[in-house]
Amino acid sequence: MVYHNLHKVSAVNAETEWNFLPYHARLPPCSACSSGAKTFCFPDSDARLESVRGVRSALVTSVLADAESSQQMCLSSLNVVVGVCAHNEEKNVGRLLEVLASVHFPSEIVVVSSGSTDRTDAIVREHRSADSRVKLIIEPVRSGKAKAVNTIMNACRSDVLVLVSGDTLPARESIARLVRWFDDPGVGAVSARPVPVNPRKGFGWVAHIMWSAHWHYLWNLTQSTKLGHVSGEMCAFSSQALAPLPQDIINEDAYMATVANRTGFRMLLDPEAIVYMKAPTGIMELIDQRRRVLAGHRQVKQKTGHYPTVLAASWWMYRSASIRTLFSILREFRLRTWVWGPVLLLCEILALALTLQLFGHKTHLLWKPVKSTKNLAV
């Protein structure tokens, strides 16, 4: 957890040593570190630590022992509840609960199944019988994710609430990586990093370009302390930053983060808190999904007076972050940016046109589920 002599090591890999240092250098001292050194706390494997150039094996052993001890101190002091919102997730919810069950510190794992007509409820019951922390709340009628999140908040009391979508799959250590930041009372929410599992070929490149742009933009805003958004695929909120959601909210993640940020809480990103998800595999599905998301951005602006700090809703306000994001995408995808980038841009324009045409005339609260995103198997 304490980085002392490892402070130059990137949070992502040893090949890009200084990538994330400007952000992590601003971290407060760890409560478990008597020396007051700047920290970047995470449990990690020997293999990861041994990859750091110039670190002797004795130092690796020492740092790893400190990391494990300090991580336990940070997590044991917090009551953590994991909330899962699900609708017809029989293809994924079993694997999701297996991952969550392997994480020992959450006191409860609350699953709200909204109007599921497949085997979702039965699969959750099977896991409940094996793990007493799992609780199932069934909503007979699908009423929107905002209502499901309110149900989770009303059903439990916690210091930290981790929200996970039922159609995602977090890496095993991701929840611990999110929760570690809440030793700082000024932190209101922490976002995981969504990573699409779509094939890196054909239309799959659109998903990877879109989500990479999303991440780079948020990260650039983090560098300038202007971040006011978290990703709804998986995020964690301090109980002090939570408030009941209006029942008609479309983008619950954008609304919750915007409200928390405007009341003085800081939003953070954790680049190693990975959550796997699947983006739409067809053009029409993508346009329909983006139409709903864009309508949600406009709704957040109506209700709070501020757009969420995402690329599609605020690129003109943070032009420097937008330009840096563009160059990052060009470096990462090279020629494919020019091939598939225009396809993504066309989908976004069509989705925006439909949003402007239908906003105020059509409810987006209960959107048609995108079937291709329900199975993470590639």
| Cα dihedral 208, 212, 214, 218 in deg (nearest 10) | 160
CB 307 within 8 A of CB 262: no
Task: Write down the residue that tokens 């993508």 correspond to.
Answer: 286
More confident residue, 367 or 151: 151
Query: How far, in Å, are 99, 105, 128, 137, 172 from residue 132 at the CA level?
Result: 15, 13, 6, 14, 19
Residues 182, 206, single domain; the answer is yes
CATH at residue 225:
3.90.550.10
Residues 156, 173, single domain; the answer is yes
Asked, for residue 213, whether it belongs to a domain, the answer is yes
CB 127 within 8 A of CB 97: yes
Q: What is the DSSP string of 155-185?
A: H---SEEEEEETT-EE-TTHHHHHHGGGGST
Domain residues for the domain of 54 are 4-76
**Domain count across the chain:** 2
Residues 242, 273, single domain; the answer is yes
Write the pLDDT tens digit of every residue in 331-359: 999 999 999 999 999 999 999 998 887 65
Residues 42, 99, single domain; the answer is no
Asked, for residue 371, whether it belongs to a domain, the answer is no
Asked, for residue 270, whether it belongs to a domain, the answer is yes
Place 13 in a pLDDT band, splitting at 50, 70 and 90.
very low
Asked, for residue 360, whether it belongs to a domain, the answer is no
Residues 135, 15, single domain; the answer is no
Distance CA 73, CA 69 (A): 7
Asked, for residue 301, whether it belongs to a domain, the answer is no
What's the chain's average pLDDT? 82
Place 182 in a pLDDT band, splitting at 50, 70 and 90.
very high
Which tokens go with 211?
């989500």
User: Of 27, 45, 76, at which residue does a domain stop?
Assistant: 76
Residues 25, 130, single domain; the answer is no
